[in-house]
Amino acid sequence: MALSQKLLSQNERIILHMHEHVKRLIPNIAAGIVMIVLAVAGFVYMPDSWKPAGTWTLLVLLLVGLVVFVGWPWLKWITDTYTVTNRRIITRRGIFTKTGHDIPLSRISNVAYERDLIDRFFKAGTLELQTSADEPLYLRDVPNAEQVHVMLTNLLFAKDEAAPAVEADEIHPDGASNV
């Protein structure tokens, strides 16, 4: 879900809106597949004396497991967003209780990124935004972290050096890139 235009100030425009990289869901999807395989094996090898109560119990356990290990993490993933505008960086988290953090671009003094081996494979990474506050803001599992890093750096220093900012259509959160 994109950030509503009514939450933007006058002359503010969205440059990039994204979720954490989908790699965050891989363990949950794998757990869901394992649960389904185990449930099918349970249905096939269940003694006749356990039926139908055992079938219903196994089905309820499977559904609860899928909701807890697949459904809930997916809902968290879909509702947690990072948005970059021409004036600020906006983070939003939460399913029932929304929390957010807005940082004006003018307050950011440094942008760094970190990518481990798995992040490099998925073209993701963690961005560290240094501000005048004690603790930096970490944007974890950002898709195309290097390109987003360059875009943020261009946005931050475009005023000083007249550097062109990378436009949103040049960075695709799904992993593709025009840059």
Residue 1 has a pLDDT of: 59
Whether the CB-CB separation of 87 and 105 falls below 8 Å is answered with: yes
Q: Report the distance separating Cα 160 and Cα 100, nearest Å.
A: 29
Residue 112 has a pLDDT of: 92
Whether the CB-CB separation of 69 and 31 falls below 8 Å is answered with: yes
Residue 163 has a pLDDT of: 41
Q: Report the distance separating Cα 129 and Cα 89, nearest Å.
A: 10
Structure tokens at 173: 């959160």
SS (H, E, C) 69-104: HHHHHHHHHHHCEEEEECCEEEEEECCCCCEEEEEE
pLDDT digits (tens, 9 = 90+) for 135-147: 888 999 999 999 9
- Per-residue pLDDT of the chain (179 residues), as tens digits, is 567 777 788 888 889 999 999 999 999 999 999 999 999 999 999 999 989 999 999 999 999 999 999 999 999 999 999 999 999 999 999 999 999 888 999 888 889 999 999 999 999 999 999 987 778 889 999 999 999 999 999 888 875 554 444 454 455 554 444 43
Q: Report the distance separating Cα 128 and Cα 144, nearest Å.
A: 14
